[in-house]
Amino acid sequence: MLKKLFKYDFIWINKIMIIYYIILLVISILTKTVESMNQTFLLLIIDKILSSMFIGCAISVIITTFMRIWARFLVNNYKDESYLTHTLPVTKNQIFNSKILAGITSILISTLVIVGCIALIYLNANNWEFLKAMFESLVQAYSKFTAVSYIVGLIVLVILELFYIMFAGILGLVIGHRSNNHKILKSVIFGFISYMVLLVLSFVIVGITSSFTDSSLIYNGFPPVSTMKAIGLTFVIIYIIYNISHYLLAKHLFNKGVNVE
């Protein structure tokens, strides 16, 4: 049954996102086409306009993805649809996990679409050589394994951060809708506080952790390996703990009962 719930949640979230993806892809192709032409003053202006449109559309894709995930959780669990949702022969765990899985999958798809469009526009011979030079600098400063680990760690951190935003919003919705009035306002407040407090705490913990390493040394313009490892591992561990704790707390509160409007 979880598979069927996931299918309906995923389709509901992404039936609008497909339009955003197509628009982003079209803008990317137009931008790439203009940039590949001999640059005149007019084409330069068009290029700047298209580049700005691309950035704005990419941001819209991320924001809309979160809004669709939260809207699906809200509408399906607390609004008119909830009367059907909570009478289905499924557990609250299945309902909750379906929303989480659909949200995680949607975030990953949106991220891949944006990264793919960025590569389509900017990954030419010159930029590829620049990226290779940056990677070689990391290899010379550390080692190939450390350089690859650093890049993978950054990618993991970005993904964990996106998941954290989703979980903070869902936890805010669950807490806010346990009250009898001003549910949406309280949901936004609780979600924002949850995100900001733990974000500040993250930097405090990372600052304390990095203070135990020798960060005064600089190798070829890069911090020492010990500092890089300490900061990177600390951030990854913190965000994993945040995501798991938000998931467990939100699911626990959700299972205690839903106050349907």
Runs of H (alpha helix) within 36-143: 41-78, 82-85, 92-122, 125-141
Q: Mean pLDDT in the chain? A: 85
Residues 95, 65 within the same domain: yes
pLDDT number for residue 219: 44
- What is the arithmetic mean of pLDDT over 74-99? 84
Same domain assignment for residues 38 and 102: yes
14-35 pLDDT, tens per residue?
999 999 999 999 999 999 998 8
pLDDT in tens, 202-259: 778 767 766 665 544 444 455 666 667 777 788 888 889 999 999 999 999 998 876 6
Residue 149 has pLDDT above 90, yes or no: no
Q: Give residue for tokens 């070829």.
A: 220
- Is 202 in the same domain as 251? yes
- pLDDT value of residue 151: 84
Question: What is the Cα–Cα distance from 249 to 86, expressed in whole angstroms?
Answer: 20
128 located within any domain: no
Provide the pLDDT for residue 261: 58
- Which pLDDT value is given to residue 78? 86
What does the pLDDT average to over 105-124? Answer: 93
Among 166, 170, 235, smallest CA distance to 204 is for 235
Does any domain span residue 90? yes
d(CA 204, CA 201): 5
241 and 182 fall within a common domain? yes
Render pLDDT for 175-196 as a digit per residue (tens, 0 to 9).
988 887 888 888 889 888 888 8
> How far is 138 from 117, CA to CA, in rounded Å?
26
Domains in the chain, number: 2
Kindly state whether residue 132 falls inside one of the protein's structural domains.
no
Q: What's the confidence (pLDDT) of residue 2?
A: 84
How many whole angstroms separate alpha carbon 133 and alpha carbon 146? 16
Q: Is the pLDDT of residue 56 over 80?
A: yes
- What is residue 154's predicted lDDT score, i.e. its pLDDT? 86
Residue 241 lies in a domain: yes
Instruction: Assess whether pLDDT exceeds 50 at residue 128.
Output: yes
Determine the structural domain holding residue 37 and report its residue range: 1-123
Instruction: Let me know if residue 240 belongs to a domain.
Output: yes
Residue 233 lies in a domain: yes
Does 135 map to a domain? no
